[in-house]
């Protein structure tokens, strides 16, 4: 059995009675939130950003529009969704943007932290270092940097979610199908990380130092400086180092990163950016796959949260290097051209051990999870390399037709992604493991045989052209039409596959009041799969349709935004794990599910309630089912809420207090019993995680901040399969920041 699969290989999805889809409580919360926010916005004094109430964005350059104060949670202007410049209200899909200020308040230091606190996004952790994220019941498989997508390999997690946020200005999340932006992809969400740039013509920066639970130390410097007397050439450097242990015994991690960028104004209308990014994450005694969940009598093994199955020789190291170039050219007629190019090199090197069996409560003897495969675990020596070369170019601007002004966006994209993986493993029998009840992670390192190419080593090329237009049908009515053509080619040791697809996109936006819009959108779904069936053949691509409709509003020049949406996704060939293995290997076999439907509702309120009060509050309720009515991916919560808020005291402006809560409903997963006899159900009840923070501005340069996470020390499982992966217990961090 190859333990790199994050999902339990025996998970088949639970059959469950259909439950009525009730919105009464959620609708009440949404209505209450919107009413309260509108009232608060009316009571506050006029914000410093603008005297207006609604921000209007033209098709001009990104840097020519009004921006909100840096202390806001909202980001008014974005190219998310369609690559056409606009507000969140101009995008006919659910959009969440996590700003620099919110990341600082909540200490969201990695992409993992950001996604764990974003509306409608949920993670399944295979272990401490590997988490896959989902939205609306489906895996998120498109991660972008400055709009260039990198396909995410679920089995070979190369640390995408561990990306450090010190290098990025914000994170944009567009939920639903995003074929216009990314081409192939699940109808879950697209994650776009927007890099920091050298935008200051004066020398300045911020240095910070943190100390927290489990001896966590973190130091970050973010410095900007002009490189020419006029400031038309500027530089920025971000560097950081982090060292921490964990509530998991023997586990240790070190991270270091560096980012440098030069921005040059070639002319008054052209800007060139060139940059380099390096990050390295090394972990020791990393637990692989979690701790076994059950005894053979069906009772649960209650290991302590700090229990670790990893020996001292286990490690998991990742390294990431990126080079990028960006050219922006503005024209007098309102058009602009953007050219992005990147080369990425990500590497993985790990030696680990996993346990995956059922054990006798008295003797500690193990029984295999798999029929006719008598093992209770294994060791693995795995290395991998992912190289991505990509170029993306697009132009956008206004045009006139039938006496009205419209906007057009056209672009081309080429991506070459070369994934090479090598591995060797050794099975662990019950006899070689001994009494599990006495196991403390001490197991001899294997005498490794030569590593061989893994079956899913592959080279994927994508060539795309895309286009979208925003038609002004009337002053309050806009129609967005677009499409993306993709030529997709995959070469594997077993052969070559080529697919051609056209992904249409359509959206209608009606501004029925000064601060309110209604919208509806449609796009198709196309996603080639890396999953294979029991014969070893790749599953056919996922195909489907995605519908969404909703209301959006904004106030105070989009410093405060709100949205509520309903959605429905229909898929065929959606891959789901079985209890079988692929012939000739220990890899999990999948089947393509037909008639998978996900439907639900989402809402979010985000931004400035007053000049002193920032808040983000979002929630989702969805149901994802197979054609037979059984739940699709039941280990994901179908109802959840995320709230975080900060308040600067009017009578003591130096002090900011805040906190939040993340709540989710119960989840479960049916997995095969001992030797695949029957199914056993893993469960995790509903739970809430409460966080607090406080910051004191000592003077104009120095601030002190404290964060307390999981205030009530809730114990919860982030895997919900045959293994248990505990979430972090109560923990704290204190941070000193000096800005100059």
Exposure on the CB side of residue 696, measured as CA atoms within 13 A: 4
Q: Residue 32: which H helix or E strand, with range?
A: helix 24-43
Provide φ and ψ at 102, rounded to 5°.
-65, -40
Phi, psi of 190 (to 5 degrees): -115, 130
Beta-bridge mates of residue 514: none
The answer, yes or no, to whether residue 61 has pLDDT greater than 60, is no
Beta pairing partners, 400: 405
pLDDT of res. 62: 54
545 burial type by CB count under 10 A (0-12 exposed, 13-18 middle, 19+ buried): middle
CB of 662 closer than 8 Å to CB of 642: yes
**3-state SS, one letter per residue, for 306-368:** CCCCCCCCCEEEEEEEEEEEEEEEECCCCCEEEEEEEEEEEEEEEEEEEECEEECCCCCCEEE
- pLDDT: which is higher, 402 or 586: 402
User: How far is it, in rounded angstroms, from Cα 287 to Cα 294?
Assistant: 18
Q: Which residues pair with 405 in a beta bridge?
A: 400
How open is the CA angle 104-110-115, to the nearest 5 degrees?
95
Indicate the range of 420-429, 506-515, 671-680 predicted with least confidence.
671-680
Higher-scoring residue by pLDDT: 457, 517: 517
Handedness of CA 74, 80, 85, 86 (dihedral sign): negative
Average pLDDT estimate for 615-624: 97
Give the whole-angstrom CA distance, residue 740 versus residue 334. 36
Buried b / exposed e over 205-236, threshold 16 CB at 10 Å, is bbebebebbeebebebebbbbbeeeeebbbbb
Tell me the pLDDT band of 536, cut-offs 50, 70 and 90.
confident
Provide mean pLDDT across the span 385-403: 94
pLDDT band at 6 (very low <50, low <70, confident <90, very high): very low
The Cα 670–Cα 579 span in angstroms is 11
What pLDDT is stored for residue 166 in this prediction?
97
In the three-class reduction of DSSP (H, G, I as helix; E, B as strand; rest coil), residue 688 is classed as: strand
For residues 304 and 247, what is the distance between their CA atoms, to the nearest angstrom? 10
- 51 vs 293, residue with greater confidence: 293
How much is the pLDDT for 586? 62
User: 653 near 71, Cβ under 8 Å?
Assistant: no
Q: Give the chain's mean pLDDT.
A: 88
d(CA 607, CA 609): 6
pLDDT of residue 3: 39
- CA 538, CA 536: separation in Å to the nearest integer? 7
CB-count burial class (<10 Å; 0-12, 13-18, 19+) for 343: middle
**How far is Cα 82 from Cα 504, in angstroms, rounded to an integer?**
12
Specify whether the CB–CB gap between 102 and 645 falls below 8 A.
no
Query: What's the pLDDT score for residue 67?
Result: 54
136: three-class secondary structure by DSSP: coil
Question: Residues near 142 by Cβ (< 8 Å), separated by ≥ 6?
Answer: 149, 150, 151, 152, 178, 181, 182, 185, 186, 190, 191
Find out whether 83 and 412 touch, Cβ atoms under 8 Å.
no
Give the model confidence (pLDDT) of 702-711 as tens digits.
999 999 999 9
Are 682 and 667 spatial neighbours (Cβ–Cβ below 8 Å)? no
**Average pLDDT, integer, range 210-221:** 98
Lowest model confidence (mean pLDDT) among 17-21, 68-72, 195-199, 617-621: 17-21
pLDDT surpassing 90 at residue 320: yes
What does the alpha-carbon distance between residue 141 and residue 312 come to, in Å, rounded to a whole number?
A: 33
pLDDT of residue 47: 40
402-431 average pLDDT score? 94
Residue keyed to tokens 């159900």: 681
- What angle is formed at CA 495 by the lines to CA 489 and CA 497, rounded to 5 degrees? 30
Report pLDDT digits (tens) over 719-730: 999 999 999 999
Band of the pLDDT at 636, cuts 50, 70, 90?
very high
Helix (H) or strand (E) segment spanning residue 656: strand 655-664
- Is the pLDDT at 302 greater than 80? The verdict is yes
- Give the pLDDT band of residue 125 (cuts 50, 70, 90): very high
CB 61 within 8 A of CB 330: yes
pLDDT higher than 90, residue 329:
yes
pLDDT band per the 50, 70, 90 thresholds, residue 111: very high
pLDDT tier at 535 (50, 70, 90 boundaries)?
Answer: confident
Residues in a beta bridge with 655:
696
What's the rounded mean pLDDT across residues 322-338? 96
Q: What integer pLDDT is reported at residue 381 of this predicted model?
A: 96
Is the pLDDT at 117 greater than 70? The verdict is: yes
How large a percentage of the chain has pLDDT more than 70?
A: 89
Q: In this predicted structure, what is the pLDDT of residue 422?
A: 93
Angle formed at CA 739 by CA 733 and CA 740, multiple of 5 degrees = 165
Mean pLDDT of the 671-677 span = 88
Give pLDDT, residue 602.
97
DSSP state of 12: -
Q: State how far the Cα of 302 lies from the Cα of 135, in Å rounded to an integer.
A: 30
Return the SS3 of 295. strand
The pLDDT > 90 percentage for the chain reads: 74
**Tokens representing residue 328 in the block:** 């922006």
Q: Which of 56-65, 160-169, 460-469, 476-485 has the lowest mean pLDDT?
A: 56-65
Q: Which residue has the higher pLDDT, 622 or 455?
A: 622
Burial class (CB within 10 angstroms; exposed 0-12, middle 13-18, buried 19+) of 402: exposed
Distance of CA 241 to the CA centre of its chain: 23
CA dihedral in degrees (446, 448, 453, 457; nearest 10)?
Answer: 30
Q: How far is residue 666's CA from residue 484's CA, in Å, rounded to a whole number? A: 38
- C-alpha 622/C-alpha 22 separation (Å) is 10
Distance CA 358, CA 548 (A): 44
Which carries the bigger pLDDT value, residue 15 or residue 547? 547
DSSP string, 35-74: HHHHHHHHHSPPPTT-S-SS----SS-GGGS----TT-S-
394 pLDDT above the threshold of 60: yes
More confident residue, 14 or 393: 393
More confident residue, 583 or 70: 70
Q: Is residue 56 predicted with pLDDT exceeding 80? A: no
pLDDT for 17: 31
pLDDT at res. 382: 93
- Contact (CB, 8 A) for 430 and 298: no
d(CA 406, CA 59): 9
| pLDDT at residue 227 tops 60 | yes
Name the pLDDT band for 69 (thresholds 50, 70, 90): confident
Q: What is the pTM of this model?
A: 0.89
Q: Would you place residue 345 in the very low, low, confident or very high pLDDT band (cuts 50, 70, 90)?
A: very high
Q: Is the pLDDT of residue 530 over 50?
A: yes
The answer to whether 626 touches 596, Cβ cutoff 8 Å, is yes
């Amino acid at each position: 059995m190859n333990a790199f699969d994050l999902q339990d290989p025996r998970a088949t999805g639970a059959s469950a009675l259909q439950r009525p889809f009730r919105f009464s409580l959620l609708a009440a919360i949404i209505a209450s939130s919107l009413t309260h926010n509108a009232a608060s916005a009316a009571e506050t004094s006029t914000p410093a950003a603008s005297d207006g109430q609604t921000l209007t964005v033209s098709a001009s350059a990104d840097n020519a529009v009004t921006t909100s104060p840096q202390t806001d949670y909202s980001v008014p202007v974005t190219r998310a969704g369609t690559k056409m410049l606009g507000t969140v209200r101009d995008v006919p899909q659910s959009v969440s943007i996590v700003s620099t200020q919110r990341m600082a308040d909540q200490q969201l230091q990695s992409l993992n932290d950001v996604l764990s606190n974003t509306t409608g996004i949920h993670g399944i952790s295979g272990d401490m270092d590997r988490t896959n994220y989902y939205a609306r019941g489906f895996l998120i498989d498109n991660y972008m940097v400055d709009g260039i997508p990198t396909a995410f390999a679920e089995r070979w997690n190369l640390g995408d979610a561990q990306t450090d946020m010190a290098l990025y200005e914000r994170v944009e999340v567009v939920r639903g199908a995003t074929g216009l932006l990314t081409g192939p992809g699940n109808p879950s969400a697209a994650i776009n990380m927007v890099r920091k740039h050298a935008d200051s013509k004066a020398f300045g920066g911020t240095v910070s130092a943190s100390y927290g639970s489990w001896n966590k130390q973190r130091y970050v410097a973010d410095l900007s400086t002009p490189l020419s007397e006029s400031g038309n050439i500027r530089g920025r450097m971000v560097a950081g180092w982090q060292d921490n242990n964990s509530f998991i015994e023997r586990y240790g991690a070190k991270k270091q990163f560096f980012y440098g960028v030069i921005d040059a104004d070639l002319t008054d209308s052209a800007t060139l950016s060139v940059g380099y990014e390096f990050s390295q994450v090394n972990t020791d005694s990393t637990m692989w796959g979690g701790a076994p969940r059950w005894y053979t009598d069906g009772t649960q093994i209650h290991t302590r949260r700090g229990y670790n199955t990893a020996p001292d020789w286990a490690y998991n190291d990742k390294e990431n290097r990126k080079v990028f170039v960006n050219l922006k050219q503005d024209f007098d007629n309102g058009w602009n051209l953007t050219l992005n190019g990147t080369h990425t090199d990500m590497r993985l090197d790990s030696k680990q051990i996993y346990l995956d069996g059922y054990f006798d409560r008295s003797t500690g003897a193990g029984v295999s999870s798999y029929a006719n495969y008598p093992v209770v675990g294994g060791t693995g020596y795995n290395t991998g390399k992912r190289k991505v070369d990509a170029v993306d170019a697009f132009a956008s601007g206004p045009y006139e037709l039938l006496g009205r002004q419209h906007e057009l966006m056209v672009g081309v994209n080429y991506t070459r992604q070369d994934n090479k993986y090598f591995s060797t493993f050794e099975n662990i029998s019950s006899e070689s493991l001994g009494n599990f009840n006495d196991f403390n992670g001490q197991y001899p390192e294997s005498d490794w045989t030569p590593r061989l190419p893994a079956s899913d080593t592959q080279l994927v090329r994508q060539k795309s052209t895309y286009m979208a237009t925003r038609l002004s049908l009337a002053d309050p009515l806009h129609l967005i039409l677009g499409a993306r053509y993709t030529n997709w080619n995959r070469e594997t040791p077993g052969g070559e596959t080529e697919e051609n697809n056209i992904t249409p996109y359509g959206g209608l936006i009606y501004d029925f009041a000064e601060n309110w819009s209604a919208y509806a959108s449609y796009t198709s779904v196309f996603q080639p799969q890396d999953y294979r069936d029991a014969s070893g053949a790749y599953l056919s691509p996922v195909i489907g349709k995605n519908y969404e409709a909703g209301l959006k509003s904004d106030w105070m020049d989009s410093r405060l935004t709100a949205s509520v949406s309903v959605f429905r996704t229909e898929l065929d060939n959606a891959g789901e794990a079985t209890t079988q293995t692929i012939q000739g290997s220990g890899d999990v076999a999948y089947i393509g599910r037909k008639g998978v439907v996900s439907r639900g509702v989402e809402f979010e309120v985000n931004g400035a309630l007053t000049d002193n009060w920032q808040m983000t509050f979002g929630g989702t309720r969805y149901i994802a089912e197979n054609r037979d009515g059984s739940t699709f991916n039941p280990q994901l919560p179908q109802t959840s809420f995320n709230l975080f808020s900060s308040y600067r005291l009017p009578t003591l402006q130096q002090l900011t207090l805040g906190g939040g809560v993340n709540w989710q409903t119960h989840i479960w997963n049916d997995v095969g019993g001992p030797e695949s006899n029957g199914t056993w159900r893993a469960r995790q009840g509903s739970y809430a995680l409460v966080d607090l923070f406080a910051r004191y501005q000592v003077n104009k340069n120095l601030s002190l901040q404290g964060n307390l996470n999981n205030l009530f020390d809730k114990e919860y499982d982030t895997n919900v399969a045959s293994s248990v992966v505990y979430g972090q217990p109560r923990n704290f961090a204190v941070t000193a920041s000096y800005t100059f």
